[in-house]
A = this chain, B = another copy of it.
Amino acid sequence: MSKTNRGNFFEDFEIGQVIRHATPRTVTGGDQALYTALYGSRFAVQSSDAFARALGYAHAPVDDLLTFHIVFGKTVPDISLNAVANLGYAGGRFLAPVYPGDTLSTVSEVIGKKENSNGRTGVVYVRSTGYTANGTEVLDYVRWVMVNKRDPGSPAPDPVVPDLPAAIDPDALGTAVPLLDSAKWDNDLSGSAFRFGDYAIGEKIDHVDGMTVEEAEHQMATRLYQNTAKVHFNQHTESKGRFGKRLIYGGHVISLARALSFNGLGNAFHISGINGGRHVAPLFSGDTVYAWSEVLDKSEIEGRMDVGALRLRLTATRNRSCQDFPLKDGDGKYLEDVILDFDYWVLMPK
Protein backbone atom coordinates (compact mmCIF):
# COMPACT_ATOMS: atom_id res chain seq x y z
CA MET A 1 0.00 0.00 0.00
CA SER A 2 1.47 3.31 -1.04
CA LYS A 3 2.32 5.70 1.75
CA THR A 4 1.84 8.72 -0.49
CA ASN A 5 -1.48 10.34 -1.14
CA ARG A 6 -2.39 10.15 -4.83
CA GLY A 7 -5.77 11.72 -4.11
CA ASN A 8 -9.30 10.41 -4.47
CA PHE A 9 -10.99 9.62 -7.77
CA PHE A 10 -14.64 9.89 -8.67
CA GLU A 11 -15.32 6.30 -7.62
CA ASP A 12 -13.90 6.94 -4.14
CA PHE A 13 -16.65 9.35 -3.09
CA GLU A 14 -19.92 8.15 -1.59
CA ILE A 15 -23.02 10.15 -0.82
CA GLY A 16 -23.11 10.84 2.92
CA GLN A 17 -19.39 10.16 3.34
CA VAL A 18 -17.79 12.38 5.98
CA ILE A 19 -14.13 13.29 5.63
CA ARG A 20 -12.15 14.76 8.50
CA HIS A 21 -9.39 16.67 6.75
CA ALA A 22 -5.80 16.79 7.91
CA THR A 23 -3.65 19.60 9.24
CA PRO A 24 -5.42 21.68 11.85
CA ARG A 25 -4.05 25.18 11.68
CA THR A 26 -3.64 27.84 14.33
CA VAL A 27 -4.16 31.23 12.74
CA THR A 28 -1.84 33.98 13.99
CA GLY A 29 -1.09 37.63 13.55
CA GLY A 30 1.64 36.41 11.24
CA ASP A 31 -0.93 34.99 8.84
CA GLN A 32 -2.85 38.24 8.90
CA ALA A 33 0.34 40.24 8.23
CA LEU A 34 1.08 38.02 5.24
CA TYR A 35 -2.49 38.40 4.04
CA THR A 36 -2.08 42.18 4.15
CA ALA A 37 1.26 41.97 2.34
CA LEU A 38 -0.22 39.75 -0.36
CA TYR A 39 -3.37 41.74 -1.08
CA GLY A 40 -3.05 45.16 0.55
CA SER A 41 -6.40 44.76 2.31
CA ARG A 42 -7.53 47.92 4.09
CA PHE A 43 -10.84 47.18 5.82
CA ALA A 44 -10.50 48.84 9.22
CA VAL A 45 -12.20 46.14 11.30
CA GLN A 46 -9.58 43.56 10.27
CA SER A 47 -6.71 46.06 10.30
CA SER A 48 -7.09 47.59 13.74
CA ASP A 49 -7.66 46.10 17.17
CA ALA A 50 -8.71 49.53 18.42
CA PHE A 51 -11.27 50.04 15.65
CA ALA A 52 -12.69 46.55 16.14
CA ARG A 53 -12.87 46.86 19.91
CA ALA A 54 -14.74 50.14 19.74
CA LEU A 55 -17.46 48.31 17.82
CA GLY A 56 -17.78 45.37 20.18
CA TYR A 57 -15.31 42.79 18.82
CA ALA A 58 -12.86 41.23 21.26
CA HIS A 59 -10.17 42.58 18.93
CA ALA A 60 -9.55 42.59 15.19
CA PRO A 61 -10.75 39.38 13.55
CA VAL A 62 -8.73 38.01 10.63
CA ASP A 63 -9.89 38.64 7.08
CA ASP A 64 -12.90 36.50 6.19
CA LEU A 65 -11.19 35.24 3.06
CA LEU A 66 -8.12 34.19 5.02
CA THR A 67 -10.46 31.96 6.99
CA PHE A 68 -12.04 30.76 3.77
CA HIS A 69 -8.72 29.90 2.16
CA ILE A 70 -7.43 28.00 5.19
CA VAL A 71 -10.67 26.03 5.57
CA PHE A 72 -10.66 25.37 1.82
CA GLY A 73 -6.98 24.42 1.67
CA LYS A 74 -7.50 21.48 4.00
CA THR A 75 -10.01 19.92 1.64
CA VAL A 76 -7.66 19.83 -1.36
CA PRO A 77 -5.68 16.64 -0.58
CA ASP A 78 -8.92 14.69 -0.16
CA ILE A 79 -11.31 16.36 -2.58
CA SER A 80 -9.55 18.00 -5.48
CA LEU A 81 -6.07 16.56 -5.93
CA ASN A 82 -7.32 14.88 -9.11
CA ALA A 83 -9.78 17.60 -9.97
CA VAL A 84 -9.97 18.71 -13.56
CA ALA A 85 -11.74 21.90 -12.60
CA ASN A 86 -13.15 23.70 -9.59
CA LEU A 87 -16.65 24.34 -10.94
CA GLY A 88 -18.37 26.50 -8.37
CA TYR A 89 -19.25 27.55 -4.87
CA ALA A 90 -22.62 28.10 -3.22
CA GLY A 91 -24.36 28.34 0.11
CA GLY A 92 -21.43 29.80 2.02
CA ARG A 93 -22.00 31.34 5.45
CA PHE A 94 -19.48 32.95 7.79
CA LEU A 95 -20.75 31.93 11.20
CA ALA A 96 -18.34 33.27 13.83
CA PRO A 97 -15.39 35.65 13.91
CA VAL A 98 -11.94 34.07 13.72
CA TYR A 99 -9.26 35.61 15.90
CA PRO A 100 -5.51 35.07 15.95
CA GLY A 101 -4.93 32.07 18.19
CA ASP A 102 -7.92 30.12 16.94
CA THR A 103 -7.16 26.69 15.48
CA LEU A 104 -9.10 25.84 12.33
CA SER A 105 -10.04 22.36 11.11
CA THR A 106 -12.31 21.26 8.30
CA VAL A 107 -14.80 18.43 7.84
CA SER A 108 -16.54 17.72 4.54
CA GLU A 109 -19.61 15.72 3.65
CA VAL A 110 -20.20 14.39 0.16
CA ILE A 111 -23.67 15.64 -0.81
CA GLY A 112 -23.81 14.99 -4.54
CA LYS A 113 -22.23 12.98 -7.32
CA LYS A 114 -22.98 12.79 -11.03
CA GLU A 115 -21.00 11.17 -13.78
CA ASN A 116 -20.37 13.19 -16.92
CA SER A 117 -21.60 11.90 -20.24
CA ASN A 118 -18.03 11.31 -21.44
CA GLY A 119 -17.65 8.52 -18.89
CA ARG A 120 -14.20 9.73 -17.89
CA THR A 121 -15.07 12.33 -15.28
CA GLY A 122 -17.77 13.20 -12.83
CA VAL A 123 -18.89 16.04 -10.62
CA VAL A 124 -18.63 15.73 -6.85
CA TYR A 125 -20.46 18.09 -4.48
CA VAL A 126 -19.19 18.56 -0.94
CA ARG A 127 -20.31 20.68 1.96
CA SER A 128 -17.27 21.72 3.98
CA THR A 129 -17.41 23.10 7.50
CA GLY A 130 -14.60 24.92 9.23
CA TYR A 131 -14.56 24.94 13.00
CA THR A 132 -12.31 25.95 15.85
CA ALA A 133 -10.72 23.69 18.44
CA ASN A 134 -13.60 24.24 20.83
CA GLY A 135 -16.10 23.16 18.19
CA THR A 136 -17.42 26.56 17.08
CA GLU A 137 -18.40 26.48 13.42
CA VAL A 138 -16.90 29.47 11.63
CA LEU A 139 -17.74 28.78 7.99
CA ASP A 140 -19.62 26.36 5.85
CA TYR A 141 -19.99 26.30 2.10
CA VAL A 142 -20.65 23.94 -0.79
CA ARG A 143 -18.32 23.48 -3.70
CA TRP A 144 -18.40 21.16 -6.65
CA VAL A 145 -15.48 19.91 -8.65
CA MET A 146 -14.97 17.85 -11.76
CA VAL A 147 -12.91 14.78 -10.79
CA ASN A 148 -11.29 12.12 -12.94
CA LYS A 149 -12.54 8.58 -12.74
CA ARG A 150 -9.93 6.00 -11.83
CA ASP A 151 -11.38 3.62 -14.38
CA PRO A 152 -13.47 4.92 -17.29
CA GLY A 153 -15.12 1.51 -17.42
CA SER A 154 -16.56 1.65 -13.91
CA PRO A 155 -20.36 1.98 -13.90
CA ALA A 156 -22.01 5.37 -13.44
CA PRO A 157 -23.66 5.81 -10.04
CA ASP A 158 -27.20 7.09 -9.68
CA PRO A 159 -26.87 10.84 -10.05
CA VAL A 160 -27.48 12.88 -6.91
CA VAL A 161 -27.46 16.64 -7.37
CA PRO A 162 -28.06 18.69 -4.25
CA ASP A 163 -30.61 21.45 -4.18
CA LEU A 164 -28.52 24.56 -3.65
CA PRO A 165 -29.95 27.94 -2.71
CA ALA A 166 -29.57 30.71 -5.29
CA ALA A 167 -28.68 32.97 -2.40
CA ILE A 168 -28.34 32.83 1.36
CA ASP A 169 -31.40 34.15 3.16
CA PRO A 170 -30.46 37.57 4.58
CA ASP A 171 -31.86 36.70 7.99
CA ALA A 172 -29.24 33.95 8.23
CA LEU A 173 -26.44 36.50 7.84
CA GLY A 174 -24.44 38.34 10.42
CA THR A 175 -23.83 35.74 13.09
CA ALA A 176 -20.07 36.42 12.85
CA VAL A 177 -20.56 40.07 13.77
CA PRO A 178 -21.30 41.34 17.27
CA LEU A 179 -24.05 43.90 17.69
CA LEU A 180 -22.20 47.05 16.69
CA ASP A 181 -22.48 50.45 18.18
CA SER A 182 -22.91 52.25 14.84
CA ALA A 183 -22.33 55.60 16.47
CA LYS A 184 -18.77 54.46 17.06
CA TRP A 185 -18.23 53.74 13.37
CA ASP A 186 -15.75 56.40 12.25
CA ASN A 187 -16.01 57.10 8.51
CA ASP A 188 -12.66 58.88 8.44
CA LEU A 189 -10.88 55.87 9.85
CA SER A 190 -12.84 53.35 7.82
CA GLY A 191 -11.98 55.27 4.66
CA SER A 192 -15.48 55.73 3.26
CA ALA A 193 -18.40 58.05 3.90
CA PHE A 194 -20.87 55.67 2.23
CA ARG A 195 -23.01 53.44 4.37
CA PHE A 196 -25.75 50.90 3.77
CA GLY A 197 -28.30 53.54 2.87
CA ASP A 198 -26.08 55.08 0.22
CA TYR A 199 -26.05 52.08 -2.10
CA ALA A 200 -28.82 51.30 -4.58
CA ILE A 201 -29.79 48.05 -6.24
CA GLY A 202 -28.36 48.02 -9.76
CA GLU A 203 -25.54 50.41 -8.90
CA LYS A 204 -22.23 49.59 -10.55
CA ILE A 205 -18.86 50.55 -9.12
CA ASP A 206 -15.55 50.41 -10.94
CA HIS A 207 -12.81 49.75 -8.38
CA VAL A 208 -10.31 51.61 -10.57
CA ASP A 209 -7.02 50.10 -9.44
CA GLY A 210 -5.15 47.14 -10.92
CA MET A 211 -2.78 44.68 -9.29
CA THR A 212 -0.15 42.63 -11.14
CA VAL A 213 0.54 39.17 -9.75
CA GLU A 214 3.96 37.53 -9.45
CA GLU A 215 4.74 33.81 -9.17
CA ALA A 216 6.31 34.23 -5.75
CA GLU A 217 3.20 35.96 -4.46
CA HIS A 218 0.57 33.41 -5.43
CA GLN A 219 2.84 30.52 -4.44
CA MET A 220 3.42 32.00 -1.00
CA ALA A 221 -0.30 32.67 -0.59
CA THR A 222 -1.34 29.20 -1.63
CA ARG A 223 1.24 27.53 0.60
CA LEU A 224 0.17 29.77 3.48
CA TYR A 225 -3.25 28.14 3.10
CA GLN A 226 -1.57 24.70 2.94
CA ASN A 227 -3.35 24.16 -0.35
CA THR A 228 -1.45 21.43 -2.16
CA ALA A 229 -2.96 21.53 -5.66
CA LYS A 230 -0.05 20.69 -7.94
CA VAL A 231 -0.83 23.06 -10.79
CA HIS A 232 0.08 26.12 -8.69
CA PHE A 233 3.63 25.10 -7.84
CA ASN A 234 5.36 22.94 -10.40
CA GLN A 235 6.71 24.70 -13.49
CA HIS A 236 8.62 21.57 -14.48
CA THR A 237 5.41 19.68 -15.19
CA GLU A 238 3.19 22.66 -16.04
CA SER A 239 5.64 23.72 -18.75
CA LYS A 240 4.50 20.60 -20.59
CA GLY A 241 0.87 21.07 -19.58
CA ARG A 242 -2.21 22.71 -21.04
CA PHE A 243 -1.14 26.30 -20.44
CA GLY A 244 2.64 25.92 -20.35
CA LYS A 245 2.74 27.67 -17.01
CA ARG A 246 1.57 27.56 -13.44
CA LEU A 247 -2.09 28.29 -12.82
CA ILE A 248 -2.94 30.72 -10.01
CA TYR A 249 -5.22 29.46 -7.23
CA GLY A 250 -8.69 30.86 -7.88
CA GLY A 251 -9.02 32.00 -4.30
CA HIS A 252 -6.06 34.31 -4.86
CA VAL A 253 -8.15 36.12 -7.47
CA ILE A 254 -11.10 36.44 -5.09
CA SER A 255 -8.84 38.00 -2.44
CA LEU A 256 -7.25 40.40 -4.93
CA ALA A 257 -10.65 41.52 -6.23
CA ARG A 258 -12.02 41.88 -2.72
CA ALA A 259 -9.03 44.03 -1.70
CA LEU A 260 -9.43 46.20 -4.81
CA SER A 261 -13.14 46.61 -3.98
CA PHE A 262 -12.19 48.64 -0.92
CA ASN A 263 -12.06 51.57 -3.33
CA GLY A 264 -15.81 52.08 -3.57
CA LEU A 265 -16.92 49.71 -0.83
CA GLY A 266 -14.76 50.77 2.09
CA ASN A 267 -17.46 50.14 4.67
CA ALA A 268 -18.29 46.63 3.41
CA PHE A 269 -16.32 45.34 6.37
CA HIS A 270 -17.52 41.75 6.48
CA ILE A 271 -18.23 39.00 4.00
CA SER A 272 -21.24 37.31 5.47
CA GLY A 273 -22.35 34.88 2.79
CA ILE A 274 -21.19 33.39 -0.49
CA ASN A 275 -24.11 32.84 -2.82
CA GLY A 276 -22.15 31.55 -5.74
CA GLY A 277 -18.89 31.87 -7.55
CA ARG A 278 -17.25 30.78 -10.76
CA HIS A 279 -13.69 30.98 -11.96
CA VAL A 280 -14.52 31.86 -15.53
CA ALA A 281 -10.96 31.84 -16.88
CA PRO A 282 -7.49 31.24 -15.47
CA LEU A 283 -5.03 33.84 -14.20
CA PHE A 284 -1.27 33.65 -14.72
CA SER A 285 1.76 35.36 -13.27
CA GLY A 286 2.36 38.73 -14.90
CA ASP A 287 -1.32 39.40 -15.44
CA THR A 288 -2.95 42.45 -13.87
CA VAL A 289 -6.25 42.01 -12.05
CA TYR A 290 -8.99 44.64 -12.11
CA ALA A 291 -12.47 44.44 -10.56
CA TRP A 292 -15.90 45.99 -10.49
CA SER A 293 -19.03 45.39 -8.45
CA GLU A 294 -22.77 45.51 -9.02
CA VAL A 295 -25.26 45.78 -6.18
CA LEU A 296 -27.63 42.88 -6.86
CA ASP A 297 -29.79 43.28 -3.81
CA LYS A 298 -29.95 44.87 -0.41
CA SER A 299 -31.73 43.74 2.70
CA GLU A 300 -32.40 44.45 6.30
CA ILE A 301 -31.46 41.66 8.69
CA GLU A 302 -34.03 40.54 11.21
CA GLY A 303 -33.15 41.82 14.65
CA ARG A 304 -30.27 44.02 13.47
CA MET A 305 -30.61 47.79 13.54
CA ASP A 306 -26.85 48.28 13.23
CA VAL A 307 -26.03 46.75 9.88
CA GLY A 308 -27.67 45.89 6.59
CA ALA A 309 -26.71 43.40 3.92
CA LEU A 310 -25.66 44.20 0.36
CA ARG A 311 -25.64 41.44 -2.20
CA LEU A 312 -22.80 42.13 -4.57
CA ARG A 313 -21.62 40.66 -7.82
CA LEU A 314 -17.86 41.02 -7.92
CA THR A 315 -16.37 40.65 -11.38
CA ALA A 316 -12.62 40.43 -11.91
CA THR A 317 -10.78 40.80 -15.19
CA ARG A 318 -7.20 40.33 -16.34
CA ASN A 319 -5.33 43.03 -18.22
CA ARG A 320 -8.47 45.07 -18.81
CA SER A 321 -9.71 48.00 -16.79
CA CYS A 322 -13.31 47.81 -15.61
CA GLN A 323 -14.57 51.31 -16.34
CA ASP A 324 -17.04 49.88 -18.88
CA PHE A 325 -18.11 47.08 -16.49
CA PRO A 326 -17.14 44.12 -18.71
CA LEU A 327 -19.03 40.87 -18.13
CA LYS A 328 -20.73 39.03 -21.00
CA ASP A 329 -21.27 39.47 -24.71
CA GLY A 330 -24.57 39.62 -26.54
CA ASP A 331 -24.82 35.84 -26.57
CA GLY A 332 -24.48 35.63 -22.82
CA LYS A 333 -20.93 34.35 -23.03
CA TYR A 334 -18.33 35.74 -20.66
CA LEU A 335 -15.99 38.19 -22.30
CA GLU A 336 -12.52 36.85 -22.85
CA ASP A 337 -10.88 39.02 -20.17
CA VAL A 338 -13.33 38.15 -17.39
CA ILE A 339 -11.86 35.69 -14.89
CA LEU A 340 -14.18 35.74 -11.87
CA ASP A 341 -17.94 36.03 -11.31
CA PHE A 342 -18.56 36.05 -7.58
CA ASP A 343 -21.92 36.60 -5.87
CA TYR A 344 -21.76 37.34 -2.14
CA TRP A 345 -23.29 39.22 0.77
CA VAL A 346 -21.44 41.88 2.69
CA LEU A 347 -22.51 43.72 5.80
CA MET A 348 -22.37 47.50 6.06
CA PRO A 349 -23.06 49.79 8.97
CA LYS A 350 -26.21 51.86 8.74
Enumerate chain A interface residues (CB-CB to B < 8 A). Answer: 3-6, 20-26, 28-34, 36-40, 42, 44, 47-51, 59-60, 77, 100-101, 103, 105, 133, 188-192, 194, 198, 205-212, 214-217, 219-224, 226, 228, 230, 233-237, 246, 263-266, 286, 288, 319, 321
Given the interface pairs A3-B265, A23-B191, the reply to whether A47 lies near B226 with Cβ below 8 Å is yes
A217→B51 CA distance, assembly (Å): 29
Closest to A265 in B: B3
Closest to A222 in B: B40
**13 pairs from A and B in contact (CB 8 Å cutoff):** A3-B192, A4-B264, A22-B188, A22-B190, A25-B47, A25-B48, A26-B48, A28-B30, A209-B234, A212-B215, A214-B214, A217-B220, A235-B286
Given the interface pairs A5-B263, A288-B234, the reply to whether A220 lies near B37 with Cβ below 8 Å is yes
Number of copies of this chain in the oligomer? 3
- In the complex, the answer to whether B219 meets A4 with C-beta atoms within 8 Å is no
- In the complex, the answer to whether B189 meets A212 with C-beta atoms within 8 Å is no
Residue from B3, B22, B101, B228 within 8 A of A194 (CB atoms): B3
- In the complex, the answer to whether A33 meets B28 with C-beta atoms within 8 Å is yes
Task: Pick from A39, A42, A59 the residue with the most CB of B within 10 Å.
Answer: A42
A104→B235 CA distance, assembly (Å): 36
- In the complex, the answer to whether B44 meets A22 with C-beta atoms within 8 Å is yes
A221→B216 CA distance, assembly (Å): 12
Report the minimum CB–CB distance from A37 to chain B (whole Å).
4
Report the minimum CB–CB distance from A209 to chain B (whole Å).
6
Instruction: Return chain B residues, CB-CB under 8 Å to A224.
Output: 33, 36-37
Instruction: Return chain B residues, CB-CB under 8 Å to A230.
Output: 209-210
- In the complex, the answer to whether A34 meets B32 with C-beta atoms within 8 Å is no
A50→B235 CA distance, assembly (Å): 35
Residue from B191, B217, B220, B266 within 8 A of A38 (CB atoms): B220
- Beyond contacts A22-B189, A40-B228: 6 other A-B pairs, Cβ-Cβ < 8 A, are A4-B205, A210-B230, A210-B234, A212-B246, A214-B216, A235-B286
